[in-house]
Chain A
Amino acid sequence: MVYKHHLTPLPHTVTEFDKKDALLSLARIRKTLGGQVVLDGVDALVGAGEIVVLLGPNGAGKTTLLGTACGRIAPDSGSVTVCGGDPRLRPEIRRHLGFVPQGLALYPYLSVKENLQTFGRMMGVTKHDLPWRIDQALERGALAELADRRVETLSGGMRRRLNIVASLLHDPKLLLLDEPTVGVDVNARKRIHELLRQLRAKGIGILITTHDLEQAASLADRVVFLSAGRVRLQGAPRELIQHCYGRGRELIVTLGQQADIEQSKALTERGLTALHGGLAWIGAVDGSYTDAAGWTQDLDAAGLSVREIRVREPDLEGVFLRVTGEELHL
């Protein structure tokens, strides 16, 4: 028997959050671009000393949501509040914001230090404060020994770290990062995670967009699932998994060939959701495995060519898939 308990609709927000403490508050944000609804009533909050990860497939509206949070994109309706004010209407509010773009937003001809000087001045850091802010940024990014190296000669991981600390020079309270670990190796990613945890410990509120589920699980205090411009679910990763699977486990059935219509119907009735175009199916089973033998018989009876049946600890991908019916890695 499939463990069906948690297939009933889940609450929109698993963890309630006190809006008064929020550094960033997005309320009922709606945005249409080129006649297409990109954000459809999005609510999200980021508090001080909190890492919130925005998860969703390409085209879900993550980057548009970040642009709206910065005050760069005007929503059609809804409100954006950063540290008590609208960053679009009050430019001085943007002093509390740091934004790390997905691309390497650096000047390749300049050295690490010259890049920091340039961005520091652009962000309004005073001449008096700039030297120690630069030293602080170099230390945070573990880049002190590379201060005089030109950016074009740095490795991908070093550039990514510089890309982040260049947005910290004006000491923002809220840091927004768009895919901060794209294209870096495992070690470089670990160092970036360490850096983000240090910033969280300093009380900085952090909002990250990513496709990387491991990153989300490892870093996030809360994740926000965004799909087709709507928040489908948000909460702490453990809580989300707990709500979705309870004490159950994740079941993955891999087929030798795609199920036909009748077979698909049978699988869906048993509470499974198709993955990878129907070659794999995912669902939840009771953690005691009491029904394992019955499963095999049922699949054989349906005439399905089964290559593998796996039962594993559930993760965020399974949660996302079960909530949205969409795969995350597109």
Chain B
Amino acid sequence: MLLGLLRDRGALLMAFVLPVIFFVIMAEIFTATSGANLDLTVVVLDEIKSDVSTRLVAALEKDDSITLRAAGDTDSEALRALVRSGSADIGLILRSDAEPLDEAGGFGPAPLLVVSDPSRGFVEPVLMGRLRRAYFSALPDVAMGNVVAELENQFLTLTDEQRDELAAGLSEMRADAEAGREVGWSFEDLIAHERVAGGETVNLVAYSAGAVAFLFLLFAAVHGAVSLLEESESGVLDRILAGPGGIGVLVDGKFLYVAVQGFVQVSVIFVIAWLFYSVDLPSRFFPWLIVTAAASLSAAGLAMLLVAACRTRRQAQTVANTVILIISAIGGSMVPRIFMPDLLKNLGWLTPNTWALEAYSGILWRGEGLGGVILPVALLLSSGLIGWYVARLLAERRVSRY
């Protein structure tokens, strides 16, 4: 079987190259959309063109996660068209016909107008956060000046001496901000961050590695197991059955081969994930080894069962492809389970894909040991062994009916 695989370039491509390409595509998608690295294209129209507005736009420009596109000479309608067409993710207009940016008091139109497309709803809160950070870090003097103006307006009256001191303080604040030094206070100072395990980027790549690996594991396992029917059709099976081994030995041999091939296949994908996408494989090597062995056995058992239940190669390919696509869709190999409704999430627990994904997520994402993923690992192992045993019974029954 191994030599047959090595010399069948199509099968080799399907088993080892296609899964890697598929995984790299999925990993790139997940990496790009994981939030931390989201790269927004913002089209900006600065109608004010004051010192303050220029400083705010410059601060936004410094933000690595934002690609600013100046609207140039275009008017606000042209900016809206750019957002509507998707050329820009979102638009920002610094309006001249509104409250001044450094004296905002809520009495007239707001000076900053955010233009967004509802189909990209997640973009607006992201820009709001970036805008808030830019406002407080680049224009602390303006922010503080607005607060003082509001205080004076509502609660107290400053003396001339206090006003002078305030003006000097605000100038110092601006100088510090322009020099890149920490300035007074910011909203970020109120927040501390804690992550229970891993980083968001690694999470989704680890997920996609498990998802892609198990999907292709099933396809490759069926491809290997189908050789049982090819051997039946060519007469090889008759030759072997006339010998002392019998069909049981043949099914056992194929089951083991398919499981080992699957193990190698999954390893290739996880090595790529480790080398190029920072999935921490070495520190989780032992549990990964056990989960991968269980997943390979499960896929091999299922493939042998599907093939043994079919009469012809064509029938086996059709049935197996259908079953694999359905359980992979429900089980989370195609769409992450976190995006699924509860019904599908629960149904997923009937599929080996979900067991494999839960096991990989447990050890690589949530940082659990084998004890934490004992249920999915046990399900994978037992499904593989049951599949193999039933396949053996079916094959023995089939040949005895010749």
Chain A residues within CB distance 8 Å of chain B: 67, 70-74, 91-92, 94-95, 97-107, 109-110, 114, 119, 122-124, 150, 166-167, 170, 176
Contacts and interface: CB of A to CB of B under 8 A. Distances in A.
A74 B241 CA distance: 13
A119 B239 contact: yes
Closest CB pairs A-B (n = 7): A101-B235, A99-B242, A105-B235, A103-B235, A109-B7, A101-B238, A105-B236
Contacts of A71: 242
Interface string B228-244: 00010111111111111
B197 interface: no
A167 B239 contact: yes
B135 to A, nearest CB: 68
A281 B301 CA distance: 61
Contacts of A97: 242-243
B235 A176 contact: no
B3 interface: yes
B3 A103 contact: no
B246 interface: yes
A150 B235 CA distance: 18
A106 B243 contact: no
Contacts of B400: 74
B236 A95 contact: no
Contacts of A72: 238, 241-242, 399, 402
A170 B245 CA distance: 13
A124 B245 contact: yes
Contacts of A105: 231, 234-239
Nearest to B4: A109
A71 B242 CA distance: 7
B241 A70 contact: yes
- Interface size classification for chain B: 20 to 34
B245 A110 contact: no
A321 to B, nearest CB: 31
Contact of A73 (B8, B239, B245, B402): B402
Instruction: State the main secondary structure of chain A at its contact with B.
Output: loop
Contacts of B7: 109-110, 150
A92 to B, nearest CB: 6
B4 A110 contact: yes
Nearest to B11: A109
A161 to B, nearest CB: 15
Contacts of B239: 99-101, 105, 119, 166-167
Interface string B30-48: 0000000000000000000
B244 A95 contact: yes
B244 A92 contact: yes
Nearest to A167: B239
Contacts of B231: 105
B236 A94 contact: no
Interface in B196-242: 231, 233-242
Nearest to A119: B239
A26 B233 CA distance: 27
B235 A124 contact: no
A260 B233 CA distance: 46
Contact of B242 (A102, A114, A176): A176
Given A72-B402, A109-B7, A122 B242 contact: no
B243 A67 contact: no
A121 B269 CA distance: 33
Nearest to B243: A123
Residue picked from B8, B242, B245, most chain A C-beta under 10 Å:
B242
28 contacts: A72-B242, A72-B399, A72-B402, A73-B402, A92-B244, A94-B242, A94-B244, A99-B238, A99-B239, A99-B241, A99-B242, A101-B239, A103-B233, A103-B234, A103-B235, A104-B235, A105-B238, A105-B239, A107-B4, A107-B236, A109-B3, A123-B243, A123-B244, A124-B245, A166-B239, A167-B242, A170-B243, A176-B242
Contacts of B8: 109
B126 to A, nearest CB: 54
A18 to B, nearest CB: 26
A91 B238 CA distance: 15
B233 A98 contact: no
A67 B3 contact: no
A91 B234 CA distance: 23
Given A67-B402, A74-B400, A114-B3, A122 B243 contact: yes
Nearest to B231: A105
Given A109-B7, A110-B4, 19 more contacts: A71-B242, A72-B238, A97-B242, A99-B239, A99-B242, A100-B239, A101-B236, A101-B238, A104-B234, A105-B231, A105-B236, A106-B234, A106-B236, A110-B3, A122-B245, A123-B244, A124-B245, A170-B243, A176-B242
A100 B244 CA distance: 15
Contacts of A107: 3-4, 236
A273 to B, nearest CB: 35
A100 B236 CA distance: 9
Residue picked from B7, B231, B234, B244, most chain A C-beta under 10 Å:
B244
Contacts of B238: 67, 72, 99, 101, 105
Contacts of B242: 70-72, 94, 97-99, 167, 176
